[in-house]
Amino acid sequence: MGKIYQVQVYGIEGEMRTIDLCNTEVEMQKFTVLQLRKNITQKILQGRQILQIKRKTSARS
């Protein structure tokens, strides 16, 4: 099984998130700062959308 390159960041509300970036060292070395920022932003926003959906469904219960 290969490695998974990850980064840990703090979200907007102070929660710590672990974000998977890539699977090989070569891919990791090719990451630019802009790509890293976009990837982190995208993953955080996806997580917020899932959280909002969960909150809406549990509010209906």
- Helix (H) / strand (E) element for 16: namely strand 16-22
* Rounded Cα distance, 49 and 61, in Å: 19
Per the structure, how many domains does the chain have? 1
Note the pTM of the prediction, 2 decimals. 0.60
Predicted confidence at residue 57, as pLDDT, reads 61
Q: What are the start-end ranges of the H helices in the chain?
A: 25-30, 33-60
* Rounded Cα distance, 26 and 17, in Å: 24
* Rounded Cα distance, 5 and 22, in Å: 5
Mean pLDDT by 10 residues, the chain (61 residues): 84 82 90 89 74 58 51
Q: Which domain holds residue 46?
A: 5-60
Return left, alpha or beta for 30; rule: phi > 0 is left, psi -120 to 50 is alpha, else beta: alpha
